[in-house]
Structure 1
Amino acid sequence: MVDRGATPAAVPAPGDWPARPELILALNRTGSFDWDLDNDRLHLDPVALEILHVPPGTYHGSISDLSGRLPRTDASRLDALVSRALKDGSEFYGAYYRVRTDDGSLRWTYTQGRIQRDEQGRPRRIVGVVRDATEELDQAGPRLQDDEHRHQTTVVETITAALAHARTVQDVIDFFKDAQAVEHLGSDLLVLGLLDAGRIHLVAEGPSEHFIPGTRYTRVDDNFPMSEVIRTLTPRFIESREEFASCYPWLWERIKDIGIASAAYLPLIAQARPIGALGLLYRDARGFTQHERNLFIVLSSSLAQSIARAMLFDQEHDLAKGLQQSMLPRRIPDIPGASIAVRYRSARMGRDIGGDWYDAIPLPGGRVGAVIGDVQGHDTHAAAVMGQLRIVLRAYATEGHAPATVMARASAFLHELDTDRFATCTYAEADLTTGIVHLVRAGHIDPLLRHADGTCRRLPVSGGLPLGLSAEFGRPDYPVTTVEIDPGETLLLFTDGLVEVPGSDLDEGMHQLTGIVRDGPYELQSLADLLCEVVGERVGEDDMAVLLLRRQGAATPGGGKLQQHIAPADPEALSAGRHMIRAAVRAWGARERSDEIELAADELVTNALLHTDGSAVVTIRMLPGPERRVRIEVEDKSSALPRRREPGESQVSGRGLLLIDQLADVWGVEPRGGGKSVWCEFVVPDRHHPD
């Protein structure tokens, strides 16, 4: 049972020697306490209750019953001292603090406690003494003032350190909305207002919101203390309720019920111009010493610099975000037969701009080009190079060049730019009719393929040097890797910001990403959102771009068409054309005649390259109708028509059209403006015919 109230200590009788310890303590106004930490019980003897000015009958054995007896600054300092002693293994602690009396005045008190711990070192109990220290400290005023000055300086250092981590204005606002901000500053309430388009916007209140209608937005010329300090660029200290009521009657009528008795309003000045104001409000009337006023000015200057820095960061962020968005495609076109999802996420550290990009390029014949790339660097120069490179890649692809040629020309373009940057890139050209995908990689990370059943695997793609470096070192060749994707399968192209995990290697990041994609949602946009969320949880220095391409539906039984542009000195394109024909024949169920079709196509392409001065375009398509026919067309820029002739026994040439006549069911030549097209057709069995 906790003792309630206190009784005066009697003077010991002359024969009562030595005096009892409790009598000695009572005569020297020293009480005792016993704090059970496990059960949160605090016993205070009658003298301790009297020293702490706890009214009789109001204390019930809990630390919360003492709430309000100590000024906020003193309570915060005492709590921090006890917490630190409990954590760092200390055996005892001691502290001076002030206690509020019934008439509102303050008296000094000293507490000393000894911490008792168990065998594991965990604190279980604190026993100690409480004594009145007012007379003692009256003799030590200068030392006390030094302690208070040190505490106030610590407050400024604490606030400055906390705001050093604030990057945006919202970070600063969130800090002042937190109850700890009020605790650090030693006030009972605070308000923070920022200048916004000529008005003062109240952006933060603490520790809880006390919104007063008509004060969210105010004018600089209004009769408010926050308006006054912004107009005059001078702090305003209000030391009593009467002063508050006489100087700001409209505001006082609306805040007097909150219990405010004094306040300090500080202008926030950066680069010699006001950007806002901070108000610190107190429930007890108080005078502000010159030292406190100087300290508040230092605090407001530090806060103003933090907010100005955050404003500049927000402006740079908005500029960088706008520039990045202008460099990326404004919209992804609708591609028949495909679903596409794209995302870009800037780095969370450093500038919110980089050289990562994506693009989706509609191509003739039911094809689409998908690009993912990363220009070296995270600045506006990287973004500018990225924008030029994206446009060049799109132009080369739409001109009909083979993927390897597109990459080689883009590398040469980047090498010729006045820049020291290089870029990694992956270009995929997908035929959505057959599912054939040609992949070219320039120093970039391998893509992933997610199957319709959800399983996911890494696609090993042969690669060349990054763009710009391959041209510089004279190695412009880029090998082509060909894969097939079935309806419902998804190709994932991404930059390394998606898989780079601090403290982990790239293979581990790829393994983690594979698991995320495997377990992620099937819906494409939801999957893209999930990948952004995964990156958003990290703190990294790299941005991220991702492009997801899913093939839809089943292969078209008729009308499908594939094309390949082949230059005279482009062996990669010739090889890609042969592979395209072989894959198309297999996909269309024409394996029985695959050798004949491939040989005829090769003969027509060879003739076009040998007997004309330009390039050729080879096309393979499935013709709809009562019988299934595969048609091969080779178009060139020469108007001279081929002639079938009988070669001599010793002649090598002259046998091409004879071979076509023997292999194909029908063939012919069609004039095409400035050139011609040589074609041949093959009747193939029904696709359900057993192979």
Structure 2
Amino acid sequence: MAGVDRDPDRPAIGDRPVIGADQRLALNRMGSFDWDLESGTFDLDDAGLAVFDLRPDEYDGRAASLVSRVPPEEGLRIEAVVDAAVRGGRTSYGSYFQVTRRTGHRQWTHTRGHILRDGHGRPYRVVGIVRNATAEFTEFTAAGPAETARPGLTTVVQTTTEALSAAITVDDVAAVLTGAGGLERFGADGLALGLVEGGALRLIAMAGESMEVLDDLRLHRLDGSLPLADAVLRQQPRFVTSLRDLVADRFPRLRPYIRRLGANAAAFLPLVAQARCIGCLAVFYRSRTHFPAVDREAFLTLAGIVAQSLQRAILFDQEREFATGLQAAMLPRDLPEFPGAEIAVRYHAAWNGRAVGGDWYDVIALPRGRVGIVVGDVQGHDTHAAAVMGQLRIALRAFAGEGHTPATVLARASRFLAELDTERFATCVYAQLDPETGAILAVRAGHLGPLLRHPDGRTRWPDLRGGLPLGAATAFGFEEFPETRLDLVPGETLVLCTDGLVEEPGRDIAEGMALLAEAVRSGPGRAGALADHLSERLWERWGTGDDVALLVLRRSPGPGGGPAPRIHQYIHQADPEGLAETRAALRRALTDWGLPELADDVELAAGELLVNVLLHTEGGAVLTLEVLPEPVRRVRLWVKDRSSAWPRRRDPGEAATSGRGLLLVEALAARWGVEPRGDGKAVWCEFERAPEPDPEH
């Protein structure tokens, strides 16, 4: 076969060699590339080098080396297209551009790349093709040299249809037509997109260097005095090769704008969907001389495709406005403020039209200066779910405002939901906070528990024992919602959210929870800034397929410098696993703080003090471990309870089986003591790091 070299290692059929994939590409003037975004290398195969008219010794594997063939303005345009695709989360992009061959002639070229992303959505590689697109422009040869710089309209229809297939909203459609790459796709010098609004035409998007001269006409009546409005009224396209003649003969109102517009030809295309004109698309050219029949047919096909996409987008925007409006009406408008606490809430509606969800949040002022916070989710994504959510939120707020305990609030809310005679159930987490002391009582009904961030940035998921979802708990006759006590120190933050923030289709929720913990750890300190940070990092990343309710509560930090490392644990008297979890938390904290050598002594002393509380008092215990200020590197352990009886140091005999707890604490700790704490007491002990050995001895 002429032009094909026989590869001795490639099988042949008779005298005809088998043509490989690389040769197939080359025969079609097409090459491939592999772009490593991390290292910056841009590998081109031989066919790709031929497209750019480069020899292998003229190319060093970097995209910047192509500047000798790609004019600066073309390079900037391609860069904008690629950047928009990468930032927009798209998986591919396409672009036409010109290459200057070594002879000085300009060559139309097309590239299409596929963007590869890692598990976190970050792009790391682009693989694709480049091809000589000269053949696509031959249909314009008869129209003169100035028009050969436009891509064929058949290609325009194909690429525009592909781009519009991913457009959801009216803004998306406008971005496809007049955003990055829009003018290039049409080979035009200006574009304007208008929508019919009542008896007027509103220009919602324009593109082109001189199109701003039409700003005065962004909203004008449908009275036939301008070509766009006239095309809408007549529902007939108009192809013009002399705008000056058009103004003189038919539209004198346009005369002040023609000279500054700088265009001589235009196509005014009505956008008709279901026998109704919903808008108009105007495409302007500076040096076009005529519109052949094949071009007019392509323009009309294009107008039909745009009209269908625009109608679909208008319907979506209307449904979304209805859904978000309904949801907003169900959520509280204003939040109460509480001294000593920062609270921020965010709600994000699902990005799928009318699929309004049942997620909600609430902040409730409680008796004695306390604050109630709740985040929940009613089953389903429809108006019924939203209606049930609104009723349940008001009922739960009423039960909480009466001063009931968290467990009672959820039990009554479950009963209320069951009595609504709906098949829906709801999950939620509800907590009561005393901003002055930081004490929290929290309950959970089948919902994701809260995430806690310590002042030093560490995060953890507190172990909140949970009950059944609201409604289901009553149906199964199990209305028990165990309360868990947490202690929020100044500067600590509690994050409550619905599952839309941590779930992505096809991905394990544990991975989403880990990403949330990392985003909280690395996020800003203030509640409002952190809520925005989480929305940007997670909700937008998952593709906005589910609605999200988010509540961030931060106990205001105290005056002075930055807080010292500290952890809090609440050990419930009826929780047999609490001691083991607390010992593990102490060891982790000391390791994180660089004090692992104290872990054994602290863990042993904490066990003795906690067992003493759980055996000899009628409640649980609150344990605090903190690093004390320099110069001596030491930690202090507190164990607080609600008993007023102080521990007594005894001297048990050799045969005694108890009474050695405080003796053991005294032997392990550098010092210890007991202090009154309002309705109880606190036993404390301090542990010091051993001094560093003297290198001279």
Same-fold status (TM-score > 0.5): yes
Counterpart secondary structure, 1:475: coil
Query: How far apart, in 2, do the equivalents of 1:283 and 1:190 lie?
Result: 12
Match of 2:547 among 536, 543, 548: 543
Counterparts of residues 398-409 of structure 1 (less than 5 Å): 398-409=401-412
**TM-superposition CA deviations, 1:516-544 (whole Å, max 9, x none):** 22222221211111111112233142221
Query: How far apart, in 1, do the equivalents of 2:337 and 2:217 lie?
Result: 50
Counterpart secondary structure, 1:374: strand
- Structure 1 equivalent of residue 464 of structure 2: 461
- Structure 1 equivalent of residue 27 of structure 2: none
Q: Displacement, 1:462?
A: 0.6
- Structure 2 equivalent of residue 219 of structure 1: 221
Judged with a 3 Å threshold, the aligned counterparts in structure 2 of structure 1 residues 153 and 100 are, in CA distance, closer, same or farther, namely closer
- Structure 1 equivalent of residue 156 of structure 2: 155
The reply on whether 1:482 has 2:512 as its aligned counterpart is: no
Is the 1:226–1:279 contact (alpha carbons within 8 Å) kept by the matching residues of 2? yes
Q: Displacement, 1:437?
A: 1.8
Q: Displacement, 1:204?
A: 2.5
Q: Displacement, 1:106?
A: 6.3
Is the 2:210–2:260 contact (alpha carbons within 8 Å) kept by the matching residues of 1? no
Counterpart secondary structure, 2:217: coil
Is the 2:194–2:203 contact (alpha carbons within 8 Å) kept by the matching residues of 1? yes
Is the 2:189–2:284 contact (alpha carbons within 8 Å) kept by the matching residues of 1? yes
Q: Displacement, 1:292?
A: 3.8
Q: Displacement, 1:391?
A: 0.8
Q: Displacement, 1:196?
A: 3.4
Give, as a single letter, the amino acid of the residue that structure 2 aligns with 1:537. R
Is the 1:240–1:285 contact (alpha carbons within 8 Å) kept by the matching residues of 2? no
The reply on whether 1:420 has 2:423 as its aligned counterpart is: yes
Q: Displacement, 1:460?
A: 0.9
The reply on whether 1:377 has 2:386 as its aligned counterpart is: no
Is the 1:408–1:477 contact (alpha carbons within 8 Å) kept by the matching residues of 2? yes
Q: Displacement, 1:459?
A: 0.5
Is the 2:619–2:641 contact (alpha carbons within 8 Å) kept by the matching residues of 1? no
Match of 2:531 among 523, 528, 550: 528
- Structure 1 equivalent of residue 176 of structure 2: 175
Counterpart secondary structure, 2:377: strand
Judged with a 3 Å threshold, the aligned counterparts in structure 2 of structure 1 residues 331 and 289 are, in CA distance, closer, same or farther, namely same
Judged with a 3 Å threshold, the aligned counterparts in structure 2 of structure 1 residues 593 and 434 are, in CA distance, closer, same or farther, namely farther
Give, as a single letter, the amino acid of the residue that structure 1 aligns with 2:110. A
Counterpart secondary structure, 2:314: helix
More RCO (CA 8 Å, sep 6+): 1
Q: Displacement, 1:94?
A: 6.4
Judged with a 3 Å threshold, the aligned counterparts in structure 2 of structure 1 residues 254 and 89 are, in CA distance, closer, same or farther, namely closer
Query: How far apart, in 1, do the equivalents of 2:449 and 2:393 lie?
Result: 20
Q: Displacement, 1:298?
A: 2.9
Query: How far apart, in 1, do the equivalents of 2:351 and 2:488 lie?
Result: 35
Q: Displacement, 1:295?
A: 3.5
Judged with a 3 Å threshold, the aligned counterparts in structure 2 of structure 1 residues 579 and 362 are, in CA distance, closer, same or farther, namely farther
Judged with a 3 Å threshold, the aligned counterparts in structure 2 of structure 1 residues 65 and 377 are, in CA distance, closer, same or farther, namely farther
Query: How far apart, in 1, do the equivalents of 2:274 and 2:231 lie?
Result: 16
Query: How far apart, in 1, do the equivalents of 2:112 and 2:479 lie?
Result: 70
Judged with a 3 Å threshold, the aligned counterparts in structure 2 of structure 1 residues 358 and 243 are, in CA distance, closer, same or farther, namely same
The reply on whether 1:274 has 2:277 as its aligned counterpart is: yes
- Structure 2 equivalent of residue 46 of structure 1: none
Q: Displacement, 1:108?
A: 12
Q: Unpaired runs of 5+ in structure 1?
A: 1-32, 43-59, 68-74, 110-147, 556-574, 596-627, 632-683
Give, as a single letter, the amino acid of the residue that structure 1 aligns with 2:178. K
Q: Unpaired runs of 5+ in structure 2?
A: 1-50, 60-65, 70-98, 115-126, 560-613, 624-637, 648-675, 687-697
Is the 1:241–1:285 contact (alpha carbons within 8 Å) kept by the matching residues of 2? no
Query: How far apart, in 2, do the equivalents of 1:282 and 1:93 lie?
Result: 21
Q: Displacement, 1:154?
A: 4.6
Give, as a single letter, the amino acid of the residue that structure 2 aligns with 1:398. G
Normalising by structure 2, we get a TM-score of 0.61
Q: Displacement, 1:210?
A: 2.3
Match of 2:53 among 35, 41, 65: 35
The reply on whether 1:593 has 2:665 as its aligned counterpart is: no
Q: Displacement, 1:407?
A: 1.2
Q: Displacement, 1:386?
A: 0.9
- Structure 2 equivalent of residue 654 of structure 1: none
Counterpart secondary structure, 1:36: coil
- Structure 2 equivalent of residue 612 of structure 1: none
Counterparts of residues 60-99 of structure 1 (less than 5 Å): 66=105, 78-80=108-110, 97=138
Match of 1:519 among 517, 522, 533: 522
Query: How far apart, in 2, do the equivalents of 1:580 and 1:82 lie?
Result: 68
Is the 2:344–2:531 contact (alpha carbons within 8 Å) kept by the matching residues of 1? yes
Counterparts of residues 89-488 of structure 1 (less than 5 Å): 97=138, 105=144, 152-178=153-179, 180-212=181-213, 214-240=216-242, 243-244=245-246, 245-252=248-255, 254-256=257-259, 259-349=262-352, 351=354, 353-488=356-491
Q: Displacement, 1:473?
A: 1.9
Q: Which moved more, 1:275-284 or 1:320-329?
A: 275-284
Q: Which moved more, 1:426-435 or 1:525-534?
A: 426-435
Query: How far apart, in 2, do the equivalents of 1:179 and 1:547 lie?
Result: 37
Q: Displacement, 1:152?
A: 4.2
Give, as a single letter, the amino acid of the residue that structure 2 aligns with 1:541. G
Q: Displacement, 1:257?
A: 6.0
Judged with a 3 Å threshold, the aligned counterparts in structure 2 of structure 1 residues 450 and 234 are, in CA distance, closer, same or farther, namely same
Q: Displacement, 1:442?
A: 0.8
**TM-superposition CA deviations, 1:42-98 (whole Å, max 9, x none):** 8xxxxxxxxxxxxxxxxx97579656xxxxxxx7xx5239999x9659999967726
Give, as a single letter, the amino acid of the residue that structure 2 aligns with 1:346. A
Give, as a single letter, the amino acid of the residue that structure 1 aligns with 2:497. F
Is the 1:179–1:207 contact (alpha carbons within 8 Å) kept by the matching residues of 2? no
Is the 2:526–2:554 contact (alpha carbons within 8 Å) kept by the matching residues of 1? no
Give, as a single letter, the amino acid of the residue that structure 2 aligns with 1:547. L
Counterpart secondary structure, 2:213: coil
Query: How far apart, in 1, do the equivalents of 2:187 and 2:281 lie?
Result: 14
Provide the identity percentage. Answer: 43
Query: How far apart, in 1, do the equivalents of 2:113 and 2:330 lie?
Result: 53
- Structure 2 equivalent of residue 661 of structure 1: none
Counterpart secondary structure, 1:432: coil
Counterpart secondary structure, 2:480: coil
Query: How far apart, in 2, do the equivalents of 1:423 and 1:303 lie?
Result: 42
Give, as a single letter, the amino acid of the residue that structure 2 aligns with 1:412. R
**TM-superposition CA deviations, 1:550-598 (whole Å, max 9, x none):** 334789xxxxxxxxxxxxxxxxxxx9xx9779779x9998754379xxx
Query: How far apart, in 2, do the equivalents of 1:550 and 1:491 lie?
Result: 6
Judged with a 3 Å threshold, the aligned counterparts in structure 2 of structure 1 residues 184 and 454 are, in CA distance, closer, same or farther, namely closer
Q: Displacement, 1:444?
A: 0.6
Query: How far apart, in 2, do the equivalents of 1:229 and 1:375 lie?
Result: 49
Give, as a single letter, the amino acid of the residue that structure 2 aligns with 1:268. L
- Structure 1 equivalent of residue 574 of structure 2: none
Query: How far apart, in 2, do the equivalents of 1:371 and 1:242 lie?
Result: 66
Query: How far apart, in 2, do the equivalents of 1:184 and 1:510 lie?
Result: 42
Report the aligned-residue RMSD: 4.3
Judged with a 3 Å threshold, the aligned counterparts in structure 2 of structure 1 residues 630 and 92 are, in CA distance, closer, same or farther, namely closer
Query: How far apart, in 2, do the equivalents of 1:271 and 1:370 lie?
Result: 49
Give, as a single letter, the amino acid of the residue that structure 2 aligns with 1:593. A
Q: Displacement, 1:327?
A: 0.9
Q: Displacement, 1:335?
A: 2.4
Query: How far apart, in 1, do the equivalents of 2:243 and 2:340 lie?
Result: 74
Q: Displacement, 1:333?
A: 0.8
Q: Displacement, 1:323?
A: 1.3
Judged with a 3 Å threshold, the aligned counterparts in structure 2 of structure 1 residues 375 and 95 are, in CA distance, closer, same or farther, namely closer
Query: How far apart, in 1, do the equivalents of 2:293 and 2:440 lie?
Result: 77
